[in-house]
A and B are shown apart, each in its own frame.
Chain A
Amino acid sequence: MNMGFFRRAIGKKERRRFEVLALPHMDSLYNAALRMARNDADAQDLVQETYIKAFRSFHTYRKEGNCKAWLFKILTNTFINKYRKEKRGPDWVDFEKVAPFHPSVRERRSPEQEIFDQLLSDDVEDALRKLPEEFRVAVWLSDMERLPYAEIAEVLDCPIGTVRSRISRGRKMLRERLYEYAKKMGYIH
């Protein structure tokens, strides 16, 4: 008899467990996908593929708690495999090696609070999209999703030090870009 013929069934109990643990994160995954993929259709495809992969491998997720980081890991890997031919393609470069982080003490400049308050959501989204992917994802997971560094490291499959550095530099780039933009738009007197 061919034992392989009998696929592993996904029983009702496991399906209920998936519905309770994984489905509530759909909004989070969709919003992240929107900032990874180029357009809404691709973002939807990405989320859909993530969920089917998650559903099929849910039996490997043994913890009882929050599976958000686990789902984000699947999303990120799916994105890398689908939209970047190689993981180490031109954009997904190890910035730490190419341009080591040299802390610098900047000069004082105009108060940023009022400037940032004037920014439109489009301005911020645009600046975010211009960030290199690995910085964008790290900053998103930290500042929008409030994931701890350890979980972000799991999602991105890198050391915690790298997470720290990507968030640092990502935020710095955002700030520089938004400041320049505000100057250009005349928000700064």
Chain B
Amino acid sequence: MNCQHLDEYLAPYLDNELGKEERKEIEDHLSTCSFCRERVEEEGRIKSLLKKKVPWAKVPLGLRERILAQMESASGGFSERVFSLFSLKSFPAAATATLGVIVVLGLFLYLRTEPPLQAAPILVESVNDHIHAISRVSPVEFASSNPEEITVWFRGRVSIPIHAPSLEGWALIGGKVCYFSDRRVACLSYERGEDIISLYMCEGSGIPLRGMRENRAQGQTYQSGSHMGYNGLFWKDGDLLCFLIAPLEKEELIQLASQGE
């Protein structure tokens, strides 16, 4: 071991990644070479530099919530265990048929007592986002009651043009960008006295709306659902998916939505 060789071993020596023999060889060399001792110190300085100087960021609250929400919507589904009990291949035909009926009946009863299908992820996410927004000092990123300003603000922040509709009885307070599962969503906030509603808009392809009720009004189809006490209304406006989350009854939501066309 001489000075020339040390370079290769500096990092693993400091990181305690060398075997006993190699370690001893290096320590023997270091005991006689002050130059190399200094190099070890240098390596140590850089090693601790990151921890000392690089700021440790805290996970933003929105991110944590989105992660928890997506876990919630990923859980659920039917259990495989019901079927693993009955291996249909090993039974003779007649028994299989009878067993088949019993299994189906059993499954039918099992499913009847299972909790209802999980709410669509988009509903869960938007309700969580709404709840989070109303508990903050300001539910919006950009405060404005001017629809033109809002349209300009969203340009470049989301991929679709955003026009804030005027809703009777409600005042526009501003907008923000949300990140749901796999896409950016524009959100407009309106208030009426103490109440706040959130109108979300995003590019509508590939968003599952399972588990919701269909409603028709004035030639438009709306999907409605409910989660944690909030009602959500979903509808398509061309390529856009629009959804309204509010502590209001479904009928009032539909009424507002139709104004938004």
Contacts and interface: CB of A to CB of B under 8 A. Distances in A.
Interface in B34-77: 35, 42-43, 45-51, 53-60, 62-64, 66-67, 70-71, 74-77
B91 interface: no
Contact of B59 (A27, A104, A148, A149): A27
Interface string A146-161: 0011000000000000
Contacts of A124: 49-50, 53-54
A117 B8 CA distance: 26
A98 B73 CA distance: 47
A137 to B, nearest CB: 12
Interface residues on B, range: 35 or more
Interface in A18-35: 18, 23, 26-27, 30-31, 34
A143 interface: yes
Interface in A111-139: 112-113, 116, 119-121, 123-125, 128, 139
B83 A6 contact: yes
Interface stretch (A48-56, A62-70, A71-79, A85-93): A48-56
B119 interface: no
A99 interface: no
A36 interface: no
Nearest to B2: A105
A164 B8 CA distance: 8
Nearest to A103: B7
A8 B80 CA distance: 6
A48 B63 contact: yes
Given A27-B59, A47-B67, A48-B63, A144 B50 contact: yes
A50 to B, nearest CB: 9
A27 B58 contact: yes
Contacts of A105: 3-4, 7
A44 interface: yes
B15 A26 contact: no
B54 A121 contact: yes
Contacts of A31: 56-57
Contacts of B71: 15, 18, 51-52, 55
A7 interface: yes
B17 interface: yes
Nearest to A23: B67
B15 to A, nearest CB: 6
A113 B33 CA distance: 20
Contact of B49 (A6, A23, A48, A174): A174
A41 interface: yes
A162 interface: no
B10 A168 contact: yes
B70 A47 contact: no
A175 B43 CA distance: 9
A89 B115 CA distance: 48
A135 to B, nearest CB: 12
Contacts of B79: 6, 9, 11
B55 to A, nearest CB: 5
Contacts of B256: none
Interface string B95-123: 00000100000000000000000000000
Contacts of B62: 44
Contact of A8 (B55, B77, B181): B77
A48 B58 contact: no
Given A6-B78, A26-B67, 6 more contacts: A6-B80, A9-B79, A48-B181, A143-B51, A171-B47, A174-B49
Interface of A: 1, 3, 5-11, 15, 18, 23, 26-27, 30-31, 34, 41, 44-45, 47-48, 51-52, 55-56, 101, 103-105, 108, 112-113, 116, 119-121, 123-125, 128, 139-140, 142-144, 148-149, 164, 167-168, 171, 174-175, 178
24 contacts: A9-B76, A10-B77, A26-B59, A26-B64, A34-B57, A48-B181, A51-B70, A51-B71, A52-B71, A55-B70, A103-B5, A103-B6, A103-B7, A121-B53, A121-B55, A140-B50, A143-B50, A148-B15, A148-B17, A149-B15, A164-B17, A168-B8, A171-B46, A175-B42
